[in-house]
Amino acid sequence: MRQAATAFAPASVGNVAVGFDVLGHSFQAIGDRVSARRTSQPGVTISDITGTVVDLPREPERNTAGMAVLCMVRDLKLDFGIDLTIHKGIPLGSGLGGSAASAVAAVVAANALLPEPLGKLELLKFAMKGEAVASGSVHADNIAPSLYGGLVLTVGIDNPNVKQIPVPSTVRCVLVHPHMMLSTREAREILNRSIDLSDVIWQSANLAGFLTGCFTGDLQLIRESLEDVIIEPQRQVLIPGFKAVKEGAMSNGALGCSISGAGPTVFAWCEQQHAERIRDAMVAGFATRNLASDAWISTLDPAGARILE
């Protein structure tokens, strides 16, 4: 029986502009790492938190990784306990799915200690309960891509259907994270509860067009559809320089550019040959508002959370 295991879970871009709360993709360049160790005392403990964020609650019920594994331990009525150590690679309040990645890495590491390991769909449900601690609502657009990898659509909450969507191999994602924090709760609370019918129609067409473009490798259709007409117009005021960043990406050949999750990170999809120019233009956009930023370029390979040997 395995006594300890360490798992890595990648960051993720929630919503991908057109699929609020249902679509997301993993981003391999950064992620969180969680080690799980069997203990004789039943329950869950968190013995250490290191990395980009250390000031997180250590009570399992108030920590996304802790809560996810606590739900697992309780549900499975395990006769042993699990101690977690969390290494954060994803900045706090960045819109890069940090709380989801910790919850996913935690359940994947804990799963390796079980006499009969669970399948991904069961792990997804535990991780979703963990992430609800941070965002105040249950949605899988960061959890599912971090766990499964690649571009992932999740339909349903209680019995989620998870589908990995193919992405044309020349597409890259550019992520630019300005050095500021945004709370997901806050970015959700500002959203209007009612939406104009014309916007719903437009966004539905964009989601359908975007997914069809991905399935058929039609970059022109992706370019025409990768536009959020509902959430981005409401949230962009929370991100200084957003317009300059988007303009920089689009004028340098991006297929689309929008807010990653709840922000403030901004992502752009583009063809490989434009990626570095777009990254530089986006960084320059934030600089117009005196914001320094970190930037990454990644493929959209379908590689999700995994045990590190």
Name the residues that contact ligand HSE, by CB under 6 A: 14-15, 20-21, 135, 139, 141-142, 184, 187-188, 261-262
Name which of 214 and 259 has its Cβ closer to ligand HSE: 259
Cβ closest to ligand HSE, residue 137 vs residue 204: 137
In the bound state with ligand HSE, the residue whose beta carbon lies nearer, of 17 and 275, is 17
* Dihedral sign (CA 130, 131, 136, 137): negative
Enter the DSSP assignment of 285. H
Residue closer to ligand HSE, measured from CB, 36 or 268:
268
Question: C-beta of 260: minimal distance to ligand HSE in Å?
Answer: 9
CB of 225 to ligand HSE, least distance (A): 18
Task: Give the shortest CB-199-to-ligand HSE separation in angstroms.
Answer: 16
* Cis before 168? omega within 30: no
Token duo for residue 146: 């971090």
Task: Give residue 266's region: left, alpha or beta (phi > 0; psi -120 to 50).
Answer: beta
3-state SS class at 40: coil
Q: How far is CA 49 from CA 84, 95, 159, 165, 211, in A?
A: 9, 20, 32, 34, 38
SS3 135: helix
The minimum distance between CB 187 and ligand HSE, in angstroms, equals 6
Report angle CA 231, 235, 239 to the nearest 5 degrees: 145
- Write phi, then psi, for 246 (nearest 5 degrees): -65, -45
Q: Could you give the angle at the alpha carbon of 150 between the alpha carbons of 152 and 258, nearest 5°?
A: 75
Closest-approach residue to ligand HSE (CB): 14
Which residues are bridge partners to 134 per DSSP?
none
Nearer to ligand HSE, 118 or 256 (CB): 256
Question: Of 184 and 293, which CB lies nearer to ligand HSE in the complex structure?
Answer: 184
